[in-house]
Amino acid sequence: MSPDEFDAFLSEVLLRLAEKGTPAAVWSAGCAAGEEPYSLRIAWEELPGKKPPLRLLATDIDAVSLERAAAGRYPESSLREVPDALRRK
């Protein structure tokens, strides 16, 4: 997902889901090493105000990718577009 696509997803989907006030679910299919689902969770938590519960399902066909995703450890190069304030959190 490109940065523009991610921003559009935030404003057009995540923000609207949060504003509804009912529990929501998002599926990250083909999540590979997990950058996308972690980014989605962080974005959800960073939305302003009280939010309903979010169920986030991340899947991939490759077991090794899922193990990497579950570990949540990423090289510095994959974090270059993450704002410093979020990295520190």
Task: Give kind and range of the element (H or E) at residue 7.
Answer: helix 3-9
Statement: the pTM of the whole predicted model exceeds 0.85: no
DSSP label of 27:
E
Residue 61 lies in a domain: yes
Residue 89 lies in a domain: no
Number of domains in the chain: 1
* CATH code of the domain in which 27 resides: 3.40.50.150
Name the E strands within 1-89: 24-29, 54-59
Three-class SS state of 83:
coil
> Residue 49 is part of which domain span?
3-83
Contact 41, 69 (CB under 8 A): no
Residue 88 lies in a domain: no
Residue 48 lies in a domain: yes
pLDDT in tens, the chain (89 residues): 677 887 888 888 899 999 999 999 999 998 888 888 888 898 899 898 889 999 999 999 998 888 888 888 888 888 887 777 777 77
What pLDDT is recorded for position 1? 66
Six token digits for residue 9: 């997803």
Residue 68 lies in a domain: yes
